[in-house]
Structure 1
């Protein structure tokens, strides 16, 4: 009688329990991922159909489609995302080509400036645009005095301009990474065969970089769709999906309608995330092979002139936005009373959220780094049943729009058995589990570089699996841990889209405080707090760049 073979899932489950400590840890992590990433998204979906407060109904969708305001908000969100994505990708290609094909000091400086918007919440640029082009802005007043133009940046194009500046680094980093890793010999061969550089860029360079460009476009589109702070500050009378979703919760207490709008944000995010994960993964490998010692083809005079001009203009815009924030922090009323002052830094009551943000971000960063490191080790070394599903769900936390996740947390944690709304604990959990995917991916990559023979040698010398992890593996994962910690701390300090639904008067955070001050037209105080926030996050970014150069850790 032949022995019946067990299926792979059963075998993996039995093998996992050979080390009970790691098995229990895996189960705890899986349950936490389900509760803190999956369940909030499902809760929003169910709420949109009335499940939880009433029987299944489509009336909330009917209300959405019968409202010209909400349909207009959906249209504005889609159009602004398309325009923002198109412009960001164009600028990313131009600047990335200039930086990767020019080894001058100026090109490196431009590359650094391109990443500056990462150190602030995206709506900071709405604040700068108001200072420059608002109803009493510096440029607005000049245009009115010189030409009699009555101009204001408030509205659809103000939102688009703020989004272009705020989300540009996301697109640029992906495009620059792709272009810098391409095989230079392909471009050299094209030039040697007589093609002009414009034709080489069009026929060789950009087609080979299409994977990175598509990934960048999809990321920027999702982020622009989910943006709610810029429309609130500078959108004027124009409605946008995320901002209307926020107002439905805060102003109308209509969670069902907010959930319906959340579904329209989840759908494109989910589609794009699945497409990136399963259809664009590990593509364009041919662009990375060979030519390691060969430099990229230098830019011709005409191409370099075009790239330099566009790059310079955009870099000046970015620097101008930051200069406005800094000036606003150190003058009484920028554009009206430009005398130097430190008064904006003296009101301690408005600075409490900064201290709260530092504490919450620090705790979240520690947890995200530890959990990410453990996940990376378990997924890379242990026979976990459903490993690919758990990895997918962990990374999906990065893709879910913050407004959707925030509402999902309110639905789940605003009553028994988990009444956590308005607590620091919920803020920490939200920030932690939205960012653990970064630490996990870093740790998995690092584990693939670590020879498993080191762990086997430790076992042969009598060390158990837990001691081997603590004494051998964990020290080797230290760079990934530190990178995950710094990245989470940096992004948590400037996050707003999800936590804005979870704060209470005693747990306000700095990004939300800046948003409130900007809405109240307290430009000086908003600029002062923004300036301090920029300094803190710039310091974190410097640590990340150091880690990248020292240990090869890539975020």
Structure 2
């Protein structure tokens, strides 16, 4: 606090950061929580539909997290430690769901296995009911296992082989080494990946909306209360019920990640090859990864096929009519790009000084600033969107129906992404460089502009790109706050799916995915010139 008194500019900046984050993060959260009375929350346990929705959400969180973690671990192990073909393809598969709208797997699953599905009707000649918890389980598994893979793969790459070789030299079997040596070293990554997956599954809105049928979960029930019955009180109760386990998972995840207990050997490192596995295990894992890869490719392949089909299930002739529909809805595409670009840039530039202050300036409230920066990451998108709808629906700050509320909601939803990227970049920059600059007479601002910013360019751009991709494909955050003038592509896709317009929905999805990959490819090209890559 003494430093703040001595540096008025820094004090003014910190005050502005706290004021803005409290206004656009804390205030919407408190608005939802305080909207209802305490006795209203009792309905979650006494009203059968809500009670079953809560149980269903927890049930799906458990089973989808387990299946996602198992698949992610097998993928990470195969890619990181086995000499098998198609590793590049396997890595590509783990990127696809992350840069796609969150519900496209549900759409593709219907196109493949629905009543007019290619496989169910025209290959197997059976009538499969894809709606319900089993369909949602498969869809969420295929959608969210890449999130767990990213964490687990990072840990597996850092594990040294030395302890395993020592165990083999002492006569341990493959199973004993895996169970007693390798798996304990993987626990931080497995736990971190599982927790991130659980948070995404719990807050999942798009997939249950499309394929869950009568199997209700908390996000869709909150949406129906708000949009169908216009019952804001009930929507607030259900959203808050969703917030409690999400916040608990987030805190647990931060505790695991914060430990960073991945070091296995200190001292001089050796470059031993991974100990070879028996052939039947190696090729069994490869076959499993190949099967998952074929499923994911089928999911995206059927989307591209459906985009150029006249009437799905009846008239398979080639047509460009669906793309003409997308052209007619160019305003939604433009809105998606505009809001995503403005929100990601705003999140990037707002998080940059915030991360710098937390990492480089000991001002006594660093933990508070860090908490405010990561808090939106603990809030389900549906909850945050509802909070913005309630907090800014009246004076003194009336934003409902405007483009500004869309940009602000997406900006603060992406704040933890940009903040984490900038913070990680700052941790890799030695403070000695700044001290040398200050000792040579440069001021704090000049040092930040000429020393820190150029070195932070890679993480800064990476955070903005990831935020842009998340914003383009986002649905849950904006579902409560969009208007006729501010509607975006994901909202149009959801409406098309609900109306059974599979071809137009597929075309719209293909366009959004193509945009996402073009942005990703361009950003990756420029970052590779600096020896960096985008961490999804």
Question: Could you tell me the TM-score, scaled by structure 1's length?
Answer: 0.91
Q: Given that residues 376 and 442 in structure 1 are in contact (C-alpha distance below 8 angstroms), is that contact kept between their aligned partners in structure 2?
A: no
- 2:506 and 2:344 map into 1 onto residues whose CA distance is 26
Q: Paired residue for 1:467, among 446, 450, 453?
A: 446
- 2:332 and 2:247 map into 1 onto residues whose CA distance is 33
2:76 is aligned to 96
Q: Paired residue for 1:395, among 374, 377, 382?
A: 374
1:262 is aligned to 239
- 2:9 and 2:84 map into 1 onto residues whose CA distance is 53
| Residues 1:438 and 2:414 aligned together | no
- 1:540 and 1:107 map into 2 onto residues whose CA distance is 23
- 1:472 and 1:386 map into 2 onto residues whose CA distance is 25
Q: Paired residue for 1:37, among 25, 28, 50?
A: 25
Q: Paired residue for 2:100, among 120, 127, 130?
A: 120
Unpaired runs of 5+ residues, structure 2, are: none
3-state secondary structure, aligned to 1:287: coil
1:494 is aligned to 473
- 1:150 and 1:456 map into 2 onto residues whose CA distance is 70
Using the TM superposition, give the Cα deviation of residue 123 of structure 1 relative to its aligned residue in structure 2, in angstroms: 0.8
Describe the shift of the 1:449–1:176 C-alpha distance in structure 2 as closer, same or farther (beyond 3 A): closer
Cα RMSD for the two superposed structures: 2.0
1:106 is aligned to 86
1:252 is aligned to 229
- Number of matched residues? 532
| Residues 1:334 and 2:312 aligned together | yes
1:550 is aligned to 531
Q: Paired residue for 2:164, among 171, 178, 187?
A: 187
Q: Given that residues 246 and 378 in structure 2 are in contact (C-alpha distance below 8 angstroms), is that contact kept between their aligned partners in structure 1?
A: yes
> Equivalences for 1:38-437 in 2 at 5 Å?
38-49=26-37, 57-58=38-39, 60-142=40-122, 145=125, 149-287=126-264, 289=266, 291=269, 293-347=271-325, 348-437=327-416
Describe the shift of the 1:237–1:446 C-alpha distance in structure 2 as closer, same or farther (beyond 3 A): closer
Describe the shift of the 1:344–1:264 C-alpha distance in structure 2 as closer, same or farther (beyond 3 A): same
Q: Which of 243-252 and 364-373 deviates more?
A: 364-373
Using the TM superposition, give the Cα deviation of residue 532 of structure 1 relative to its aligned residue in structure 2, in angstroms: 1.3
- 2:272 and 2:306 map into 1 onto residues whose CA distance is 47
Using the TM superposition, give the Cα deviation of residue 41 of structure 1 relative to its aligned residue in structure 2, in angstroms: 1.6
Using the TM superposition, give the Cα deviation of residue 283 of structure 1 relative to its aligned residue in structure 2, in angstroms: 3.9
- 2:374 and 2:42 map into 1 onto residues whose CA distance is 33
Q: Given that residues 394 and 436 in structure 1 are in contact (C-alpha distance below 8 angstroms), is that contact kept between their aligned partners in structure 2?
A: yes
Describe the shift of the 1:138–1:553 C-alpha distance in structure 2 as closer, same or farther (beyond 3 A): closer
Unpaired runs of 5+ residues, structure 1, are: 1-12, 50-56
